[in-house]
Amino acid sequence: MTENCNGIDCDQCGTCCKVFGDSISPTIENVYHWLTNDRLDILRHFSACFANGTWKKCSGLQVDELGDIITVEMRDPDTGALVSACPFLSRVSKNRYLCSIHMAKPEMCDNYKPWIWGETYLRRCRTIREQERKTSWQDENVT
Ligand code: SF4
Ligand code: SF4
């Protein structure tokens, strides 16, 4: 979920978070920021894999271990299993969703642009559909 879609405010439909949210992978900088700001509420939802193949819950990491991490994955905080949805997506009304960690969300969420053609293009993005509807209406009304 992003605040702005190509100059137009995100419609907060939550679709991008529902589609990609279970595979969010934070950067080491994200993890460092959460560790140094005591964001255990976020860290508990991630596990880190080290170069030697071992895994550790991010909530138990020390800052001096960050250099040995090769990947970080979203995992169930109780079982360690892969998750099927981002736990930070919050439904605030029938058709509106918000990111409950908006100010501290992972970099890939911050940078996500659903209008860029390719791997992350999302035809179902409500803002893109609204843009297309307006463009089509304008085209039809050009004389
Ligand atoms: S962390 Fe926030 S922005 Fe990222 S997928 Fe989850 S709810 Fe969406
Ligand atoms: S799919 Fe588009 S409109 Fe919906 S939350 Fe994501 S960026 Fe916003």
User: What ligand is nearest to the CA atom of residue 23?
Assistant: 1
Where in the chain are the domains? 4-137
Residue 125's contacts (CB-CB under 8 Å, 6 or more residues apart) are 5, 11, 13, 15, 16, 114, 115
Query: Ligand 2, from 2, 86, 88: best to mutate by most atoms within 8 Å of Cβ?
Result: 2
Residue type, 85: A
Q: Quote the tokens at residue 33.
A: 């920021």
| CB of residue 74 inside a 6 A radius of ligand 1 | no
Distance 21 CA to ligand 2 centre (A): 12
Distance 4 CA to ligand 2 centre (A): 9
Q: What is the pLDDT along the chain (143 residues), one digit of tens a residue?
A: 666 544 557 899 999 999 999 999 999 999 999 999 999 999 999 999 999 999 999 999 999 999 999 999 999 999 999 999 999 999 999 999 999 999 999 999 998 888 777 777 888 999 888 888 887 767 777 65
